Amino acid sequence: MDELDRLRSATADLDAPFALVDLDAFEANAADMTRRAGGTPIRVASKSVRCRALLADVLGRDGFRGVLAFTLPEALWLAGQGFRDLVVAYPTVDRRALRALAADPEAAAQITIMVDDVAHLDLVDRVCGDPAGRPEVRVCLDIDASWRPLGGRLRIGARRSPVHAPSEAAALARAIVARPGFRLVGLMAYEAQIAGVGDAGGAGAGARLRSLAIRGMQTGSGRELAGRRRAVVDAVRAVADLEFVNGGGTGSLERTARESAVTEVAAGSGLYGPALFDTYRAFTPRPAALFALPVVRRAGDGSATALGGGYPASGPAGPDRLPSPHLPAGLRLDRLEGAGEAQTPLLGTAAEHLRVGDVVFFRHAKAGELCERFNELHLVRGDRVVDTVPTYRGEGQAFL
């Protein structure tokens, strides 16, 4: 039985649209991620999963430890559900959530918030009141991991923290340590230009040249960051006894895990194997998270039209942010319509064989964003659905 027949057999009783996770692929991806990390613990990026049951599953596996949450309300919710060791990846200005954190000593002991500016500390004090009357707030210092060659005239990487140099990190660390009510426990630096950019070449001379340029950029950036991250960690450790130093992402697990200054790496997207990871040379995740759309009409020109499907991914707008038809093989989107809110026309030789009522399986460009479109995930093993679990949305949770 081929993959298409297997998935159609497993989901024959379901009415599309629906979403599924192939557990065999999910588990193979988890095993490959731990292999690539080479013994360095992986902190699971929850925004790439957005399903409590699968987060718990991953954290029960060797090689995974702790959660990298994307908002403080999410971290508080997960802590209330029994999750431990939660680091919020982005700074928060959510006053209600900060008050809830300060009012819950147990949650405050498990949750670490992100800071990169004294203004973040000021906000906590304004919202939460006298430091003597609240639990100590655990904080992690976010470091800018972008590459600034040509004497800083060029910036390559995500615009994140303003803290770039070791001296800047040490100065902020001293400011944190000097403030009552705060405890500096971690340091994070996410190298988006390495972990989040595929380096595999496509067809044509232009694509090959672009691939070579990306590889050169990543080599140069990786070399610079490894040295600077070591210097930053040394400078900050001279001020505070850090519990963890976090780096990396699914696309750079091997590279970042080799750095002696890093104690853990962060990853999550590789578990689902979304389409954007097809452009990486270092690894090939199996497509684990899919969504299915029903064919609802044929236009009479060899095309077939599926219901819905307009699920673009975040980031710079472009064709690579659209969902991609996965099975049957040989389908493509119509460039003039793309994936639409109400309908998605499908072209290609396979479209001629689709009939009204058939199901087409798609891959999202990114990982956890798919779960914002569906209330539940059907867990498939082999040729049957073995469980159905709620997504964050299915549990009534919408954090961003």
pLDDT per position as a tens digit, 299-351: 888 899 999 999 999 998 999 999 999 999 999 999 999 999 999 999 999 99
Would you say residue 181 has pLDDT above 90? yes
Would you say residue 368 has pLDDT above 90? yes
Provide CB contacts within 8 A for 226, sequence distance 6+: 259, 261
Return the pLDDT at 156. 82
Would you say residue 202 has pLDDT above 70? no
pLDDT bucket at 201, cuts 50 / 70 / 90:
low
Helix ranges, 86-244 (H): 95-102, 105-110, 118-128, 166-178, 192-195, 205-237
Would you say residue 199 has pLDDT above 80? no
Domains and CATH numbers, the chain: 23-270 (3.20.20.10), 289-392 (2.40.37.20)
Return the pLDDT at 203. 61
Average pLDDT over residues 218-238: 90
Give the C-alpha separation, 60 to 251, whole Å. 22
Would you say residue 365 has pLDDT above 70? yes
Average pLDDT over residues 46-72: 98
Contact, 229 vs 191, CB < 8 A?
no
Give the C-alpha separation, 154 to 159, whole Å. 13
pLDDT bucket at 398, cuts 50 / 70 / 90:
very high
Residue 244 is which amino acid? F
Counting Cβ atoms within 10 Å, is residue 320 exposed (0-12), middle (13-18) or buried (19+)? Answer: middle
Return the pLDDT at 271. 98
Average pLDDT over residues 246-270: 94
pLDDT in tens, 65-91: 999 999 999 999 999 999 999 999 999
pLDDT in tens, 373-394: 999 999 999 999 999 999 999 9
pLDDT bucket at 283, cuts 50 / 70 / 90:
confident
pLDDT bucket at 216, cuts 50 / 70 / 90:
confident
pLDDT in tens, 149-166: 887 788 888 888 999 999
Give the C-alpha separation, 2 to 75, whole Å. 40
Would you say residue 213 has pLDDT above 90? no
User: 270-297 burial by CB neighbour count: b if 16+ within 10 A, else e?
Assistant: bbbbbbbbbbbeebebebbbbbbbbbbe
Average pLDDT over residues 176-192: 95
Helix, strand, or coil here: 376?
Answer: strand
What is the share, in percent, of the chain residues with pLDDT greater than 90? Answer: 80
What is the share, in percent, of the chain residues with pLDDT greater than 70? Answer: 98
